[in-house]
Amino acid sequence: MINALTVDVEEWFCGHILNKAVKKNEWNNQELRVVEDTRRMLRLFSRHDTEATFFVLGWLAERSPELIKEIADHGHEIATHGYWHTSLTEMTPASFEQDLNKAIDVTSRCVKQEILGFRAPSFTITSATLWALRILKNNGIRYDSSIFPTSFHPDYGISNAPLAIHKLDNSLIEVPLSCVEVMGRRIPCGGGYFRLYPYGLTKAILKRCNREGRPAVFYLHPWELDPAQPRVKLGPINTLRHYYNLDKTAARVDRLLTDFRFTSIKKLLGL
């Protein structure tokens, strides 16, 4: 079975757990590492002849348009990750639509392909922000990949959301992040989970998805392949979440791309 490989293109300081340590008005003063981090990822994908969907942060597209063009030139799909990486739980419908339109505008200038997909920062399309799905549809987005069908995380998740790719009432396609059910609990994979779990557990989750007849939807960030990134003071839990096993991620991705077949969401959906 062919699975979906996705990348959230953002800098090492853009994530939700670094918001207090590196505020948005300080972003322009930080060391920018995403270009080399993403090129490292592109080389790895090319070795396995694998295409992916890159959800690009608009703030980065505006500052590194040549990188976004380079990603597209490698044959990958370009989608949007919003402009400011602000959680939807902190936005109003009006501010979200403004952020989305700005992101689509600056990203579309970098590439010739149409922007079809969206992923919310920190997966924050939740039960409280389902209003965003209407706004996505009204602004030309064809699919969303923001919903984590799990309940344990404090920032995201919809516990009873379908596990498989499905069409919503407004005809938008939802491409949820992959989970499997074990003894009544849903176990996620990808991103930080990929670094925290033994590789064998990730492999078992993806195989289980495929046995159940559904493609896995896997995600990564370029900074997860960069153990030399700057370190900032975080609490013990967030330090673990952000920095654990960064030195092992590239080798694990190489192994993952050997064990499974992947493509972009656009190709998986036949759009």
Which residue from 63, 57, 64, 108 is spatially nearest to 86, judged by alpha carbons? 57
DSSP codes, 83-147: SS---GGG--HHHHHHHHHHHHHHHHTT-SS---EE--GGG---TT-THHHHHHHHTT--EE---
* pLDDT (average), residues 131-155: 92
Q: Does domain 2-269 have CATH number 3.40.50.300?
A: no
CB contact at 8 A, 49 and 263: no
Domain boundaries, the chain: 2-269
pLDDT above 90: percentage of residues in the chain: 88
> Higher confidence at residue 154 or residue 76?
76
Residue 197's pLDDT band (boundaries 50, 70, 90)? very high
Does the pLDDT at position 184 exceed 90?
A: no
Does the pLDDT at position 155 exceed 80?
A: no
Angle at which helix 93-108 crosses helix 131-138, to 10 degrees, equals: 40
* pLDDT (average), residues 215-221: 98
Residue 157's pLDDT band (boundaries 50, 70, 90)? confident
Which residue from 154, 211, 143 is spatially nearest to 180, judged by alpha carbons? 211
pLDDT in tens, 83-98: 999 999 999 999 999 9
* Distance separating alpha carbons of residues 29 and 176, to the nearest angstrom: 35
Residue 183's pLDDT band (boundaries 50, 70, 90)? confident
pLDDT in tens, 112-136: 999 999 999 999 999 999 999 999 9
State the sign of the Cα–Cα–Cα–Cα dihedral 96, 194, 73, 147. negative
Residue 101: both structure tokens together? 């339109």
CB contact at 8 A, 186 and 194: no
Residue 109's pLDDT band (boundaries 50, 70, 90)? very high
CB contact at 8 A, 193 and 202: yes
- The per-residue pLDDT of the chain, averaged, comes to 95
- Residue written as token pair 């008005």: 25
* Distance separating alpha carbons of residues 152 and 145, to the nearest angstrom: 19
Residue 2's pLDDT band (boundaries 50, 70, 90)? very high
pLDDT value at residue 235 = 87
Question: Which residues, listed in sequence order, are joined to residue 267 by a DSSP beta bridge?
Answer: none
Residue 153: both structure tokens together? 């995380």
